[in-house]
Amino acid sequence: MPRFAELNTQVLGVLIENLPSLKAWVLGLKPRFPILSDFWPHGDVAVRYDVLRREGICERAVFIIDKKGIIRYIDIHDINKDPGVNAILRTLAGIEESKE
């Protein structure tokens, strides 16, 4: 998380769970960033980003959106695989460099 702060980045998690499930998930995993609920209308944000599956579950995805609202990076990956952070940090560093 310190590296994200250095890159002037806000990390957010978005889950399509209801609030009681979301609370249990947050209490169990204790993430170091805010978690938002996309439950009602169910998966509305996920639909807008084209990551809600027909069966009502969400793909695991990473989006980097700059301060102008432009999507700079998309990684949709297998739910059982950790995408790692290196490509994300490289993209963020590139965005910061382009501001200079």
H and E: helices and strands count for the chain: 4, 4
Q: Please return the burial class of 9, using the count of CB atoms within 10 Å of its CB with bins 0-12, 13-18 and 19+.
A: middle
pLDDT reported for residue 61: 94
| Fold of the 2-99 domain | Glutaredoxin (3.40.30)
In this structure, the number of other CB atoms found within 10 A of the CB of residue 5 comes to 10
**DSSP-H helix ranges across 8-85:** 19-29, 44-48
- 32 with 3: CB under 8 angstroms? no
Indicate the pTM of the whole model: 0.84
pLDDT, tens digit, for every residue of 16-74?
A: 999 999 999 999 999 999 999 999 999 999 999 999 999 999 999 999 999 889 999 99
